[in-house]
Amino acid sequence: MMKRILGKSGLEISALGMGCWAIGGVFWRDGKPIGWGEVDDAESIRAIRRARELGVTFFDTADIYGTGHSEILLGRALAGERNQVVIATKFGNVFEEGKRQAYGHDVSPQYIRAACDASLRRLGTDYIDLYQLHPSEVEPDIAMQVCDTLESLVKTGKIRFFGWSTDNPSLAQLWKDSPSYVSVQHQLNLFEDKPAMLQVVDEFNLASINRGPLARGLLTGKFQSDSTIHPNDVRRDWDFKAGLQAQRLQELAALEPVLTRDGRTLTQAALGWLWARNEHCIPIPGFKTVAQVEENVQSIRYGKLSEQQMQEVESILGR
C-alpha cells in the first residue's frame, strides 16, 4: 500500500482513502436530493471491511451524510479496529438525525461541541483523528473562533487534529499558525485542476484531501450520451447530450487511449493522475459496492501516471 503523511500531523495513512458520502443513502435539503441514491447497508459494511483487508487505513465521512447514517455504518464496520485506522469526519451542517433532512449551517462553539459528541457516539469511538469544518465559505473572524473551539477539543482529547473542507485558497490559509491544523479537503480531479490550492498545501505542509477525485463518476467511463440518473441522486440534473457533462464525455474519449494504455482502467488512471499531480494528494473516491472498492484500491498497483501521460493529458485538455 502506498502511504502518505497527513500533513504536519505525522500520521501515516494509506495514499488512498475511502469517501463515505454515498453510503449515507438518500437525504434532502430544501426538497432537493443531496445524497447518491439508494444503498444496501450490508454491502456498504462489506465494502468498508474489504477496503481494510486491502490495506486502506483512511476513511472520510461527515455527520450530515445520510443525516448520521454514514457515521453509524462506518463505526459498525470498523468496530474492533479503531487503533488501526484514521477516521475523518466533518461538522457545521444542521440536520435532524435519522430524518434524512438537512436545514442549514451552524458553527457556533456550542454547536460544534455538541456535534462532536454526537459524531463520537455514532462512530462508536472516544476520539476523532481529523475533524473538519464542512461549510466551505465562512467569514474570517468567525473562522478564527471556530479554530479556537477546535483547539479546545484537541486539548480535551476528543479530536486529534482538524482541517477545513473548502475550495477557497485564501480561507485555507487562515489557520496556518495552528499546530493542529493539518489538512484541506477540496475539489480536485483530472478535469478540475486547482493549482492555487496546491500551492497553499505545499507552502504550509497540509494534506490535500481530494474531494470528487472521479468527477462524481464522470471519470469512470460509466456514462454515455444517453445515460440518465435517478431523481433522488444529487446528479439528477446532469445532461449528457449538452453542456458541461457532454463536453467532459468528449474529452474523456480523447483521453482514454493515453490513460489506459498501460492496462489501467479509467478510474485507476484518474487516481494515478492525482498522485502524480502533487505529493500531498490523498484521493477519497466514493463507493457503494465491494467491486468499486477493489477497483479503486487496485490503482495502487499502477501508482502515479507517468510524466509523459501527464504531459499528454495537459495537451489534450489545452492547459
| Residue 234 within any structural domain of the chain | no
Q: How confident is the model at residue 1 (pLDDT cuts 50, 70, 90)?
A: confident
**CATH (domain of 148):** 3.20.20.100
Whether 124 has a pLDDT exceeding 90, the answer reads yes
User: How many domains are contained in the chain?
Assistant: 1
| Residue 278 within any structural domain of the chain | yes
In this prediction the pTM is 0.97
| Residue 247 within any structural domain of the chain | no
Instruction: Calculate mean pLDDT across residues 259-282.
Output: 97
| Residue 152 within any structural domain of the chain | yes
| Residue 27 within any structural domain of the chain | yes
Whether 98 has a pLDDT exceeding 90, the answer reads no
Q: How confident is the model at residue 41 (pLDDT cuts 50, 70, 90)?
A: very high
| Residue 238 within any structural domain of the chain | no
Write the DSSP assignment of the chain as a string of letters: --EEE-GGG--EEESS-EE-SGGG---EETTEE-SBS---HHHHHHHHHHHHHTT--EEE--TTTTTTHHHHHHHHHTTT-GGG-EEEEEE-EEEETTTTEEEEE---HHHHHHHHHHHHHHHT-S-EEEEEE--S---HHHHHHHHHHHHHHHHHTSEEEEEEE-S-HHHHTTTTT-TTEEEEEEE--SSS--HHHHHHHHHHT-EEEEESTTGGGGGGT---TT----TTBTTTT--SSSHHHHHHHHHHHHHHHHHHTTS--HHHHHHHHHHHH-TTEEE--B-SSHHHHHHHHHHHHH-SPPHHHHHHHHHHHT-
pLDDT above 70 covers a percentage of the chain that reads: 100
For residue range 209-246, list pLDDT tens digits in order.
Answer: 999 999 999 999 999 999 999 999 999 999 999 999 99
pLDDT (0 to 100) of residue 108: 98
| Residue 233 within any structural domain of the chain | no
- Which domain does 281 fall in, by range? 3-220+268-305
| Residue 50 within any structural domain of the chain | yes
